[in-house]
Amino acid sequence: MPKEDGGLEILDRVIIGKPKLWRVLLLNDDYTPMDFVVSVLERIYRKNPSEAVQIMLKVHNEGRALCGIYPKEIAETRVALTHEEARKEGHPLKAVFEPE
């Protein structure tokens, strides 16, 4: 039994059906500047500059794109940080997380 979650992983995943990993997606909007999105992807999602531009353009063209797959607590924290930074700068940028 894995120890890092107190041994309840099998209960969570197999019996209750709680997923281990969550997908974080960035959503498009008409107002957030492209360079702000690139900067969020570099700083919060640890993408390199060319990955960050590619993901930003995918969101811009297709409406959403995957930023990363993380354990729930990390996914939640990165989404919250994204919203906090966007709100501080007055941008409507949104991220969501969903079970893998």
Give the interface with ligand TYC as residue ranges (CB under 6 A): 26-30, 32-34, 37, 56, 59-60, 93
Tell which residue, 67, 86, 85, has the closest CA to residue 75: 67
Tell me how far, at minimum, the Cβ of 84 lies from ligand TYC, in Å: 15
Neighbours of 16 (CB within 10 A): 9
What's the order of all strands across the beta sheet hosting 64-71? Answer: 64-71, 21-27, 94-99
CA 83 – CA 81 distance, rounded (Å): 5
CB nearer to ligand TYC: give 22 or 59.
59
* Closest separation in Å from C-beta 33 to ligand TYC: 6
State the minimum distance, in angstroms, from the CB of residue 72 to ligand TYC.
22
Q: Which residue is nearest to ligand TYC (CB)?
A: 59
Compare residues 5 and 96 and give the one whose CB is closer to ligand TYC.
96
Spatial distance between the Cα atoms of 7 and 10, rounded to a whole number of angstroms: 7
